[in-house]
């Protein structure tokens, strides 16, 4: 068996077409996103570049707010409040994690939930866990669902294993999957017999943030494999959590890195921004 490779550009294109149509209904108003980055982490910069490219492609506005990683907590909190209060801003994307000396919890607690494009506020997180779709889910977690939907996969009753339990991807993705009637197992670094548990999955979602940790032995014949990882490959590029070459021979469908879920994530971000502008 050789897996079908599901490229994110195909999924993103379908989302983008819907966004372009809806922008026409804003009577000339152009939604604006504020991107906030602290420091020079490679994965943050990669996500920022992807978001900027998507905003430009869809004719949406953005501002880049970058700060050195040694900015004081007090100064950063003040700068964040300024952006949060700005009436010209429809949505905020805060790239995380923040440096350890910055009180990230305080920022998440104060972000305007209507501008919270990546679902970091307690209000939006609670809505995701309650199955309330009026809030904003984290973009990458929602991108996983969009990718599965585009592939025509009915999640009802499917055994899905999510490798990773972060608040950014693993946990919210599990909640979105349960909302769609999947049976979900979450694995993490303390999971015993993790290979066996992954092999039981009809759909395997890799979101551990660990370079190529998902080997052939983790995957059952014909499984769908969604790779959410973004890792430094050691050669100046990026790779996923899945050992693509080893797994592609067993899976029925697989997403690549780069060129997979990341492309969908920025389209979900744009969709959230458009929705926020409509609400305002």
pTM: 0.94
Question: Running DSSP on this structure, what letter comes out for residue 43?
Answer: H
pLDDT at 231 over 90: no
What was the pLDDT predicted at 91? 98
Q: Identify the weakest region by mean pLDDT among 213-222, 229-238, 262-271.
A: 229-238
Instruction: Go through the domains of the chain in sequence order and give each one's CATH number.
Output: 28-114 (3.40.50.10860), 138-261 (3.40.50.720)
At residue 1 the predicted structure's pLDDT band, cuts being 50, 70 and 90, is low
pLDDT at 236 over 90: no
Percentages (nearest 5) of helix, strand, coil residues in the chain? 40, 15, 40
pLDDT at 39 over 70: yes
Euclidean distance between CA atoms 277 and 280, whole angstroms: 5
Mean pLDDT of the chain: 95
Q: Is 5 exposed, middle or buried (0-12, 13-18, 19+ CB in 10 A)?
A: middle
- Cβ atoms of 163 and 241 within 8 Å: the answer is yes
What was the pLDDT predicted at 238? 87
Euclidean distance between CA atoms 34 and 64, whole angstroms: 6
What was the pLDDT predicted at 42? 80
């Amino acid at each position: 068996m050789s897996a079908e490779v599901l490229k994110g550009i195909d999924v993103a294109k379908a989302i983008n077409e819907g966004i372009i149509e809806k922008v026409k209904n804003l009577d000339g108003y152009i939604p604006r996103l504020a991107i906030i980055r602290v420091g020079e982490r490679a994965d943050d910069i990669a996500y920022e570049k992807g978001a900027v490219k998507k905003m430009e492609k869809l004719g949406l506005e953005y501002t880049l707010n970058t700060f050195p990683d040694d900015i004081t907590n007090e100064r950063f909190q003040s700068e964040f409040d300024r952006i949060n209060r700005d009436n010209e801003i429809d949505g905020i994307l805060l790239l995380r994690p923040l440096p350890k000396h910055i009180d990230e919890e305080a920022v998440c607690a104060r972000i305007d939930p209507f501008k919270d494009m990546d679902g970091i506020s307690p209000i939006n997180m609670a809505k995701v866990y309650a199955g309330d779709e009026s809030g904003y889910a984290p973009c990458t977690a929602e991108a996983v669902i969009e990718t599965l939907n585009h592939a025509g996969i009915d999640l009802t009753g499917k055994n899905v294993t999510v490798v990773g339990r972060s608040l950014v991807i693993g946990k919210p993705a599990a909640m979105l999957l349960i909302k769609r009637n999947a049976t979900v197992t979450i694995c993490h670094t303390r999971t015993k017999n993790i290979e066996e548990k992954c092999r039981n999955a009809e759909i395997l979602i890799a979101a551990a943030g660990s370079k190529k940790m998902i080997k052939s032995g983790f995957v059952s014949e014909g499984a769908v494999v969604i790779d959410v990882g973004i890792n430094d490959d050691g050669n100046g590029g990026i790779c996923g959590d899945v050992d693509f070459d080893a797994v592609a021979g067993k899976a029925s469908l697989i997403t690549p890195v780069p060129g997979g879920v990341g492309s969908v994530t920025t389209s979900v971000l744009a969709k959230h921004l458009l929705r926020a502008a409509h609400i305002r």
